[in-house]
């Protein structure tokens, strides 16, 4: 009789479980940071009111919006159930949130399975396209005709 191969994630006993949990430490740290940041923004004062949060340093230095401008207000609006308002603060980030969630879940599941992170979204062509989109978004949201993209 031949035995089926044993994969790294199939180790029985506490040593294998500890190794699996240790492998998920980066995911736990990312999740903890996102949850902590979201809770701080959700339960503090409205970031639309001046004086409650530090402003964007790029905006303060240049007078132009960066691709992340409006992010804190977006999180605040989402945590208070104002989806349309959240979209208006940073449309690109709003649209990218499900993509980031998908990549996080995929990373976590593949790590738990003992597999390296792979996704078509992480291929160089896609990554370079996203960087290009980010640069175009950064420029366009500062043009006079694109008020809808300004936070």
φ, ψ for residue 145, nearest 5 deg: -80, -10
> Quick one: average pLDDT of 60-67?
92
CB-CB contact of 121 with 100 (8 Å): no
pTM (2 decimals)?
A: 0.79
CA dist 131 and 103 (Å) reads: 17
CA dist 6 and 15 (Å) reads: 15
Asked if pLDDT for residue 3 goes beyond 60, the answer is: no
Q: Could you report the per-residue pLDDT of 16-43, keeping only the tens digit for each?
A: 566 677 889 999 999 999 999 999 999 9
Q: Could you report the per-residue pLDDT of 90-100, keeping only the tens digit for each?
A: 999 999 999 99
CB-CB contact of 7 with 114 (8 Å): yes
C-alpha 52 chain-centroid distance: 23
| Residue 46 CB neighbour total at 10 angstroms | 13
């Amino acid at each position: 009789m031949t035995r089926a191969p044993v994969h790294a994630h199939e180790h029985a006993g506490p040593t294998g479980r500890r190794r699996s949990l240790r492998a998920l430490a980066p995911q736990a740290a990312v999740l903890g940071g996102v949850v902590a940041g979201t809770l701080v923004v959700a339960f503090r004062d409205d970031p639309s009111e001046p004086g409650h949060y530090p402003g964007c340093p790029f905006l303060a230095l240049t007078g132009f919006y960066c691709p992340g401008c409006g992010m804190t207000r977006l999180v605040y609006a989402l945590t208070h159930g104002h989806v349309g308002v959240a979209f208006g603060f940073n449309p690109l980030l709003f649209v990218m949130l499900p993509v980031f969630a998908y990549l996080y879940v995929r990373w976590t599941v593949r790590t738990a399975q003992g597999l390296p992170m792979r996704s078509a979204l992480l291929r160089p062509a896609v990554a370079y396209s996203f960087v290009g989109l980010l640069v175009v978004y950064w420029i366009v949201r500062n043009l006079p005709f694109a008020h809808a993209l300004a936070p």
